Amino acid sequence: MNDALEIEDVWKKFPMRRDRPGFKEFLLNLPKFVNRNYNSNFWALKGVSFKVKQGECLGIIGKNGAGKSTLLSLILGTIYPTKGNIKVSQKITPLLELGAGFHPDLTGRENIIINGVLLGLTKDEVMERMEDIVAFSEIREFIDMPVRTYSSGMYLRLAFSVAINTDPELLLIDEILSVGDEAFQKKSKDALIGLIKEGVTTILASHNMAAIKDICNRVIWLDKGEIRAEGEPEKVVEEYLRCSG
């Protein structure tokens, strides 16, 4: 099996700026601002390395602020590492925030098209899949209404349906297994598991330990920007729960 993803000693820092100063404050403290050390840094990731094979499902667990989302954004490529290398060899489909590209004033159908293209399809390919997407979302009656009129559940259903119908190769998922009501949650989980069985590489960050144990082949435990443990889902999750319990 080839590697889908290779992460090599990745570091990421964020500048910890206080809220932007007012103009007066800025002038008074000018020497301080020029001095770069004034802005202290926060290291969100400190030397993380791992590999993911094609078709593998990797779980990422850790407390809030451990660096899970930063790691996913780095893999996606919307942010750049301060140090280190990230090699991705498959098409990434992000499920970081459902409906991130949706515009409230556009209709469901218009949003499907734009989102589908943003997630890596051509317009023709989206049109071919339109029927599947609408059918999966189960909100056919509302599909030509602006999404601002949707309930939050409908919104998430639609967003999820688009994402999984874009022929993902490498799925990045950030805590979105709780989509909609019970029935749809089950349906979306089944769909995800289906994709994973078909060989879609998946990286899943979640606090839902049951889901992690269910779906993943391997788990990484992130703690304060470092990998604290890695391996069998059962073992790592148990250790994590023991330490944070």
Partner 1 sequence: MVNDREYKRKKDLLFLLTKKEITLKYKRTVLGIFWSLLNPILLAIVLFIAFKVFMRIKMENYTFFFLSALFPWNWFSASVTMSTGTLIGNVNLIKKIRFPRHFLVLATILGQFVNFIFALPIIIGFSCFYGKGPGINWLITVPILIVIQFFVTTGICLVISIVNAYFRDMEHIIGVVVSMLFWMTPIIYPLDIVPEAYRIFLILNPLTYLITAWRDIFMSNAIDWGNIGISLGSSLIFLLFGILIFQRLGKRLDEVI
CB of 30 to partner 1, least distance (A): 16
168 versus 233: smaller Cβ distance to partner 1: 168
Give the interface with partner 1 as residue ranges (CB under 8 A).
Answer: 14-15, 73, 76-80, 92, 94, 96-97, 100-101, 103, 105-106, 110, 113-114, 117-123, 146
What are the E-state strand segments in the chain?
3-16, 40-53, 57-61, 83-88, 92-95, 170-174, 201-205, 218-223, 226-231
Q: Dihedral through CA 209, CA 86, CA 98, CA 244, nearest 10? A: 20
How distant is the alpha carbon of residue 2 from its chain centre? 22
CB of 215 to partner 1, least distance (A): 22
157 versus 187: smaller Cβ distance to partner 1: 157
CB of 146 to partner 1, least distance (A): 8
51 versus 148: smaller Cβ distance to partner 1: 148
What DSSP character marks residue 20? Answer: P
124 versus 198: smaller Cβ distance to partner 1: 124
- How far, in Å, CA of 167 to CA of 20, rounded? 42
What's the sign of the alpha-carbon dihedral 173, 199, 226, 242? positive
- Phi, psi (5° rounding) for residue 101? -95, 5
- What is the token pair recorded at 94? 């992000």
56 versus 174: smaller Cβ distance to partner 1: 174
CB of 203 to partner 1, least distance (A): 15
CB of 148 to partner 1, least distance (A): 10
